[in-house]
Structure 1
Amino acid sequence: MAEFVDQVVLHIKAGDGGNGCASVHREKFKPLGGPDGGNGGRGGDVILEVDPNTSTLLDYHHRPHRKAGNGKQGMGSNRDGATGEDVLLKVPNGTVVKNARTGEVLIDLVGSGTRYVVAQGGFGGLGNAALASTKRKAPGFALLGEPGDEMDVVLELKTVADVALVGYPNAGKSSLIAALSAARPKIADYPFTTLVPNLGVVTAGETVFTVADVPGLIPGASQGRGLGHEFLRHVERCSTIVHVLDCATLEPGRDPLSDFEVIEGELAAYGELHDRPRLAVLNKADVPEARELAEMVRPMLEERGLRVFTISAATHEGLRELSFAVAEMVAAARAAKPVEEPTRLIIRPPQYGDVQFQVRRVDEHTFQVTGEKPERWIRQTDFSNDEAVGYLADRLERLGIEKALGEAGATEGAEVVIGPMEGGYVFDWHPTLDAAAVPGPRGSDNRIG
């Protein structure tokens, strides 16, 4: 069973808004009590929140479907429906949220307590008390609640650690993190033993830092070979990179220097990692041949401006010096880094005067109307109630859709689609519907026969 999951697809559904209530106040000796239907409750939101005590996305791997509560229907006596219950999903620091369909990055969640409403609950429908006007003093209808957002998102965890251990598979990275910290990763003598990052906490003097054992990298990792993209993203947030070089490898064509060049090439090809401070670790010095090789390549690595340490994760040789050197680099990086603040959400409301709808001529007898307002009004309308349909006609006429259809060449009986061509609301256009309604029985409209 998986213990660490760093990428999941989450299927989320916000709550639907509750329907409004069409009710008339009834009381003895008050025959004209007036409308008193309450509004429907708002649907619950699906919210992501950064929790410092959460380190994996495992829970969402097992339960990927999450749904918020629906709003309750409005009631008589001007009682509004209850708001649906929000769903709060805890995610680790450093979680990137993407739209699963388009791949667009919605937000990068950094900073404890940062919240993001990933799916917004639908608005509740207005009751007939809120719809009353001088024209309709006692509406016999109410508006329907709107559906909540529904979408699939990808949660991708980019490990937040101070130090990343990088190197070829089986270079001894897991052994090193086990020797430096209390972490106990799986260790075996075959490549790709580590398939998920292991995190360890190291204390060196007064400095405490976290180390990530990044799974082994191979040539072509920056292009995705050997799950390279899955592994390299965990290096992005680390402030210090430690190359773990295997001095005891028996694989033909490999040596510590060529391994270093290959891994550096993959880091450069992946991008955004050129400014990270680095040091090199020549591992497995407990093997006599490996120690000789380490002494040969050490000057070559130092010529490249690297601090080099010869160690043995098995015997703990050189680990104290290494841990203090890394702590020094981490402290310097922390001092130079600005204080991490929670992700700021920028809300940009639509500009005043934006076009509220568009009319498009599909063919000689078909026209399409798109726009946030008309499509929303369609969702709110109870088409089983003639008075509600008449109210919709009045709203569309005030918005200017009747006039725009006439200017686009629509004639009586033309087919009009409001919303997408597949799944939109279709009706035959009759321009006489823009005439004023004559009061009639509740729930009816004289213009609709």
Structure 2
Amino acid sequence: MPDFVDEAVLHIKAGDGGHGCASIHREKFKPLGGPDGGNGGRGGDVVLEVDPQAATLLDYQRRPHRKARNGTPGQGGHRSGANGDDLVLPVPDGTVVTTPDGEPIADLVGAGTRLVIARGGSGGLGNAALASAKRKAPGFALKGEEGESLDVRMEIKTIADAGLVGFPSAGKSSLIAALSAARPKIADYPFTTLVPNLGVVEAGAVQYVVADVPGLIPGASEGRGLGLAFLRHVERCSTLVHVLDCATYEQGRDPISDLDAIEAELAAYGARTGVDLSDRPRIVVLNKVDVPDGRELAEFVTPMLHERGLKVVAVSAATREGLRELAFAMGELVDAARAARPVPEPTRVVLRPRELGETPFEVVALGDNTFRVRGDKPARWVRQTDFANEEAVGYLADRLNRLGIEEALAKAGATEGAEVYIGAEDDSVVFDWDPSIDAGHIPIGPRGTDSRLG
């Protein structure tokens, strides 16, 4: 398996919240010690964080299932459960996070950038926290909520200022090695470079990052060679540098036809992805002029390239001829692109409180005396309820009544015995509605029971 992987699908599960504890303080000579059950701990979040040391998504391709720790249950003696540890997943700079369908979620750029991709579930309240003037010693506690779970697709788009594009063996890796401290693999056969190589170049006061994009051949935008896998790394480059081989002996190739072929692939990729690369400034590098035939060919095609309005630099990575001029030419375009970028506005958090009179739920008629209650709050309350405990079920009924669901069902035309669905569409809890039961009265009886449900 290759060491460099720039795409991965991750299956994420945040930690579940711990259940609350139903406990009564018991001590000699203190028969009425009162409830002392602690709350459950919060489940851990799953966090994506940009790590400068991370360079690949290989580990996530090998182990795509990741889960944060659960919170622990509460205990008696007012001891709350421990919170689950967050799961921090390091990702490379320039990682784009989307849904499996391609809907954007986040673009993680800059060391230390963090994204909480899945939030842990809240811990359930213990009976000490549920005690009130009317219900002095609850015989139940609330269950912890499940953490969020989702699938995400991650894709690396290399962070570089200038991108070297060209045919295999045109000398892109050799140029990066000559211009910077990067040491990519260099050999005399096509597709030597299997991963984008990055190098830092200094040109006077300007420091910038150069990347070579491997495997571009005719048809690359449609999947031929390696181009489709790595064309995305061109998207963030503000400057494109065409590296043209002036010493190739391959039949049917010359600098002009190579330039046209690569430009056609860039245009086809832009049409396919919606990323317009036509407005990026270009530099043409005529490489391998240390070869006599290469110098003659470079001198022959330079006027043709000037007619197209292109900046042309003749270089030799082997003898370092023209490298200083190339470094400053790229630095000038990169510096201009940086100056033209708009100043980012500070992030503002906008709080939008719920409008007065807006109900946190809705009642939808499904058919003959059958209704569904939709809303985050009722669904969350149902998930927190221990349906094996009658008192907990009665407490849920009281909460739903205070929210106004009983009144809303009556207005919707529900009659005695109506089936009421609350919760997720595929995992709902079904209630038989009885409007004659007093949902506002808390009966006195043994803990864990409710005479209204007998």
Once the two structures are superposed, residues 3-37 of structure 1 have per-residue CA deviations (whole angstroms, 9 ceiling, x without a partner) of 22222212221111111111112233322222111
| Correspondence 1:309-324 to 2 at 5 A | 309-324=313-328
Partner in structure 1 of residue 197 of structure 2: 198
Q: In 1, are the aligned partners of 2:44 and 2:69 still within 8 Å (CA)?
A: yes
Q: In 2, are the aligned partners of 1:14 and 1:119 still within 8 Å (CA)?
A: yes
Partner in structure 1 of residue 230 of structure 2: 231
Q: In 1, are the aligned partners of 2:215 and 2:226 still within 8 Å (CA)?
A: no
Alpha-carbon separation, structure 2, partners of 1:352 and 1:14:
31
Once the two structures are superposed, residues 286-335 of structure 1 have per-residue CA deviations (whole angstroms, 9 ceiling, x without a partner) of 44443333222211212222210122334433223222322333334344
Alpha-carbon separation, structure 2, partners of 1:221 and 1:200:
24
Superposition deviation, residue 397 in structure 1: 1.6
Alignment size in residue pairs: 447
Q: In 2, are the aligned partners of 1:393 and 1:433 still within 8 Å (CA)?
A: no
Superposition deviation, residue 446 in structure 1: 1.1
User: What code does the residue aligned with 2:180 have?
Assistant: S
Superposition deviation, residue 359 in structure 1: 2.1
Alpha-carbon separation, structure 2, partners of 1:221 and 1:322:
27
Superposition deviation, residue 244 in structure 1: 1.0
| Correspondence 1:63-102 to 2 at 5 A | 63-100=63-100, 102=101
Q: In 1, are the aligned partners of 2:214 and 2:226 still within 8 Å (CA)?
A: no
Distance 1:340 1:400, change over 3 A: closer
> Which deviates more from structure 2 when the two are superposed, residues 436-445 or residues 117-126?
436-445
Give the SS at the match of 1:201.
strand
Partner in structure 2 of residue 294 of structure 1: 298
The answer on 1:438 being equivalent to 2:437 is no
Superposition deviation, residue 251 in structure 1: 5.0
Alpha-carbon separation, structure 2, partners of 1:424 and 1:61:
35
Kindly report the root-mean-square deviation, in angstroms, between the aligned alpha carbons of the 2 structures: 2.6
Alpha-carbon separation, structure 1, partners of 2:246 and 2:371:
73
Give the SS at the match of 2:436.
helix
| Correspondence 1:127-276 to 2 at 5 A | 127-222=126-221, 226=225, 228-251=227-250, 253-269=252-268, 270=270, 271-276=275-280
Alpha-carbon separation, structure 2, partners of 1:64 and 1:391:
41
Partner in structure 1 of residue 32 of structure 2: 32
The answer on 1:278 being equivalent to 2:277 is no
Alpha-carbon separation, structure 2, partners of 1:445 and 1:229:
65
Counterpart selection for 1:352 from 344, 351, 355: 355
Give the SS at the match of 2:377.
helix
Distance 1:402 1:31, change over 3 A: same
Once the two structures are superposed, residues 193-229 of structure 1 have per-residue CA deviations (whole angstroms, 9 ceiling, x without a partner) of 3332111223444543321111233445456665545
Give the SS at the match of 2:424.
coil
Alpha-carbon separation, structure 2, partners of 1:188 and 1:263:
22
User: What code does the residue aligned with 1:374 have?
Assistant: P
Q: In 2, are the aligned partners of 1:16 and 1:122 still within 8 Å (CA)?
A: yes
Superposition deviation, residue 369 in structure 1: 1.9
Alpha-carbon separation, structure 2, partners of 1:87 and 1:378:
28
Give the TM-score normalised by the residue count of structure 2.
Answer: 0.89
Superposition deviation, residue 186 in structure 1: 3.2
Give the SS at the match of 1:212.
strand
Counterpart selection for 2:383 from 376, 379, 394: 379
Superposition deviation, residue 392 in structure 1: 0.8
Alpha-carbon separation, structure 1, partners of 2:373 and 2:224:
47
Distance 1:416 1:252, change over 3 A: farther
Give the TM-score normalised by the residue count of structure 1.
Answer: 0.90
> Which deviates more from structure 2 when the two are superposed, residues 209-218 or residues 115-124?
209-218
Superposition deviation, residue 394 in structure 1: 1.1
Partner in structure 2 of residue 447 of structure 1: 452
Q: In 2, are the aligned partners of 1:382 and 1:389 still within 8 Å (CA)?
A: yes
Partner in structure 2 of residue 5 of structure 1: 5
Unmatched segments (≥5 aa) in structure 1: none
Superposition deviation, residue 268 in structure 1: 4.2
Superposition deviation, residue 440 in structure 1: 1.3
Alpha-carbon separation, structure 1, partners of 2:452 and 2:222:
64
Distance 1:296 1:351, change over 3 A: farther
Once the two structures are superposed, residues 38-83 of structure 1 have per-residue CA deviations (whole angstroms, 9 ceiling, x without a partner) of 1111111111222233333333233322221111111122221111
Superposition deviation, residue 112 in structure 1: 2.3
The answer on 1:389 being equivalent to 2:388 is no
Q: In 2, are the aligned partners of 1:111 and 1:340 still within 8 Å (CA)?
A: no
Superposition deviation, residue 234 in structure 1: 1.1
Distance 1:367 1:195, change over 3 A: farther
Alpha-carbon separation, structure 1, partners of 2:343 and 2:92:
19
Alpha-carbon separation, structure 2, partners of 1:206 and 1:133:
69
Alpha-carbon separation, structure 2, partners of 1:59 and 1:134:
54
Once the two structures are superposed, residues 309-364 of structure 1 have per-residue CA deviations (whole angstroms, 9 ceiling, x without a partner) of 122334433223222322333334344446779x9585655633544222222232
User: What code does the residue aligned with 1:439 have?
Assistant: I
Alpha-carbon separation, structure 1, partners of 2:370 and 2:46:
38
